[in-house]
Amino acid sequence: MIKKIVLLASLLSCSVAAWADEDSAATRAIFLRGEMNNWTAPKENQLAQAEAGVLVAKATLQASHGAYKFKFADEKWKSDTTFGQFDPSSKVELDKPVVAKAGYQWGDMKFTPAADGVYAFYLDRRDAKKVLVTVKKAN
């Protein structure tokens, strides 16, 4: 009987550990969320690995829209994977990295496309103390 209890406890602890790893900030799916997709988390805006520690998603933007507000976040807006800017009045400029922070308290980022087209939104998490966001014209 003791062996069965120990075995059951071991199995339960393994499943809890496996579940916890699936929901870590490092492995959780993150999406480009903003005015370009009505703040939803569609599969086509899920960030993919561009290189180690750098994620990217693409979106089609129209210049006539003006500034697009956006953030990076998982499907449930969890604090450790919701990235925004400290200064909500600042704007992201093409090809110029800006610092973003994880947490609910950070404001939306804003990007104004100069022309209609597809843009790539990069989230660089290689340095956890200095997460960078860059928008580039997609090829």
DSSP string, 29-52: --EEEETTTTT---GGGB-EEEET
Picking from 138, 123, 132, the residue whose alpha carbon sits closest to that of residue 61 is 138
Which ranges in 23-134 belong to alpha helices (H)? none
pLDDT of residue 86: 82
Confidence of residue 53 (pLDDT cuts 50, 70, 90): very high
Q: Let me know: does 101 contact 82? Beta carbons within 8 Å.
A: no
Which ranges in 1-120 belong to alpha helices (H)? 2-22
The residues with which 46 forms a beta bridge, in sequence order, are: 31
The mean of the pLDDT values for the chain is 87
12 pLDDT above the threshold of 80: no
CB count within 10 Å of CB 134 equals 18
More confident residue, 27 or 120: 120
pLDDT of residue 15: 44
Give me the residue label for tokens 């939803």.
40
Please tell me the number of Cα atoms within 13 Å of 93 on its side-chain side: 2
Instruction: Tell me if residue 17 falls in helix, strand or coil.
Output: helix
The 10s digit of each residue's pLDDT in 57-70 is 999 999 999 999 99
pLDDT of residue 17: 44
Share of the chain above pLDDT 90, in %: 71
Confidence of residue 54 (pLDDT cuts 50, 70, 90): very high
Confidence of residue 3 (pLDDT cuts 50, 70, 90): low
Q: Let me know: does 123 contact 83? Beta carbons within 8 Å.
A: yes
Picking from 60, 65, 75, the residue whose alpha carbon sits closest to that of residue 117 is 60
